[in-house]
């Protein structure tokens, strides 16, 4: 995983290889840094765009193919993300100290300060929200969660009069687990992420979270 942010733009690239031995080698890390630099230079927002781009007379794909032959295992660019806002912060998290970062995050905000944005990025790395706001969850998913909550409550023998409140409580629990703005903040569980942003004068515009291989 490689990331770079600054001047209101952030880029995140997932570069994979097959073994940990290669992943922690200097050649692989240097290659990943080269690929990231190219993604930043051309403003790539997809792996296909990055792979097809010219990098010193060769495409990125050709350079990776050569590296595959030299190193002896498959190296690939799995995905690329790019965010723009008045402030974009990147955060890389190592799950193993002797390997490159396994989790990468970009957070785009308007207003606020970089410290808060970085705290939010670290929160995202740890708690893996799927969307920024509940509006981004499609209606069918919410309806299904509601059906499951109702069926579970009936199986538990909950009183009929209490059903609506129980169902809504469980659906809200789903939102609090999956929606960034509604999650309890990692550094202060008494506040939601939305509240932390509000207190710092920031508005979250978007985020990206990659975990290698997932």
The secondary structure of 163-176 as a DSSP string is HHHHHHHHHHHHHH
Residue 109: both structure tokens together = 């905000």
Residue 19: both structure tokens together = 């073994």
Quick one: CATH architecture of 138-177?
A: Orthogonal Bundle (1.10)
Question: Could you list the pLDDT tens digit for every one of the 214 residues in the chain?
Answer: 999 998 899 999 999 999 999 999 999 999 999 999 999 999 999 999 999 999 999 999 999 999 999 999 999 999 999 999 999 999 999 999 889 999 999 999 999 999 999 999 999 999 999 999 999 999 999 999 999 999 999 999 999 999 999 999 999 999 999 999 999 999 999 999 999 999 999 999 999 999 998 8
Domain with CATH 1.10.286 in the chain: 138-177
Reported CATH class of domain 2-132+184-211 = alpha beta
Residue 157's region, left for phi above 0, alpha for psi from -120 to 50, else beta, is left
> What is the pTM assigned to this prediction?
0.90
pLDDT of 140:
96
Domain with CATH 3.30.479.20 in the chain: 2-132+184-211
């Amino acid at each position: 995983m490689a990331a770079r942010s600054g001047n209101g733009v952030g880029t995140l690239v997932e570069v994979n290889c097959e073994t940990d031995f290669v992943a922690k080698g200097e050649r692989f890390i240097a290659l990943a840094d080269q690929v990231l630099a190219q993604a930043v230079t051309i403003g790539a927002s997809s792996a296909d765009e990055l792979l097809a781009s010219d990098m010193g007379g060769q495409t990125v794909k050709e350079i990776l193919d050569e590296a595959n032959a030299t190193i002896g295992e498959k190296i690939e660019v799995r995905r690329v993300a790019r965010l723009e806002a008045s402030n974009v912060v990147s955060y890389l998290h190592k799950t193993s100290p002797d390997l490159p970062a396994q989790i990468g995050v970009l957070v785009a905000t308007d207003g606020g300060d970089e410290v808060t944005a970085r705290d939010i990025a670290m929160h995202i790395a740890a708690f893996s929200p799927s969307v920024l706001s509940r509006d981004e969850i499609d209606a069918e998913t919410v309806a299904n969660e509601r059906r499951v909550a109702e069926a579970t409550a009936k199986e538990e023998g909950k009183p009929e009069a209490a059903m609506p409140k129980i169902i809504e409580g469980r659906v809200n629990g789903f939102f609090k687990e999956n929606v960034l703005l509604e999650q309890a903040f990692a550094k202060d569980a008494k506040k939601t992420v939305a509240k932390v942003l509000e207190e710092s004068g920031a508005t979250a515009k978007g985020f990206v979270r990659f975990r290698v291989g997932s």
